[in-house]
Amino acid sequence: MGDEPETLLDSVTSRFAMGKNVLARTTKLLGQATFRIKRGKPAETIEELGKRWPLSASQRAFLLEFGAAKSGAAFIDEKVQAINRAAFHRSAFALNGFTHLFFVDLAAQLSFSLPQLKLALVAANLLLAGLAYFEMRRQFRSLVAGPNALPPKRRFGGLFSNPRYNKAVKKNSRHYARSAWTAQTLYRPAYFANAILIFLGSQFILAPGGLIFPFGFIIGKISGLLTTLVAAFDVWRGVRTGDDARVAREREVSVYRDLDI
């Protein structure tokens, strides 16, 4: 009897350690699948960045020196967040393209054959994945280039405003506006549209009814579960992408507060 509490405690501890190990492996696998860069202190973030993207010695030295300042650390963290978001969009739309190709046939659900519709949906998702990939590249180039230096606010001894300053501030806000527009106009509707189409058109590329039992039954259940999970994932990403667009708009507005009016 005296050994039962210890046995129970050992069992709970073992299960907790096993669950923690599974969670850590899942998180690592998800990070590898989405090419997510782990964020931390500037030096740690730059080290993780170098594992995903090629960094020359001069670029690494510049980022380490630049990240030592508070403003530099904030800039690096913001750009890494942007790279991670674009990487997640790329992986998500690639997953949607894969799902449409093998597990969705909307035309068959409507009792007619139109393979062009399936190919169009796959191509649309791959196009969005490509767009997200180029956004990753753009954010990386912006990171290693560093922030644009602003000209002086005033000129001629502070007597007159400098129009070049306001022009430079407006230029710095463009990428926020572009990010907000892309998230709100392209990514967000695409996620919701994918969720609806996948939910309505769920069907394996081979009709489960034509397969030998129990393979047809098993494949039907697995494909139904997978498409349900992907549809739920798309709804979640659509909501989160709306939040990303709102944050980008807020950052755009914050840049305009620096105008010398």
Mean pLDDT by 10 residues, the chain (261 residues): 57 67 63 72 87 86 87 88 93 93 76 78 95 92 78 63 71 84 94 92 62 62 83 94 91 69 44
Residue 25 lies in a domain: no
Residue 242 lies in a domain: yes
Residue 191 lies in a domain: yes
State residue 260's pLDDT score.
Answer: 47
Residue 58 lies in a domain: yes
> Residue type at 148?
N
CA distance linking residue 175 with residue 249, whole number of Å: 10
State residue 50's pLDDT score.
Answer: 85
Residue 8 lies in a domain: no
Residue 23 lies in a domain: no
State residue 204's pLDDT score.
Answer: 61
State the pTM of this model.
0.79
CA distance linking residue 80 with residue 78, whole number of Å: 6
How many domains, in total, are found in the chain?
1
Residue 31 lies in a domain: no
Residue 9 lies in a domain: no
Domain that holds residue 188: 37-256
Instruction: Examine residue 147 and say whether the peptide bond preceding it is cis (omega within 30 degrees of 0).
Output: no
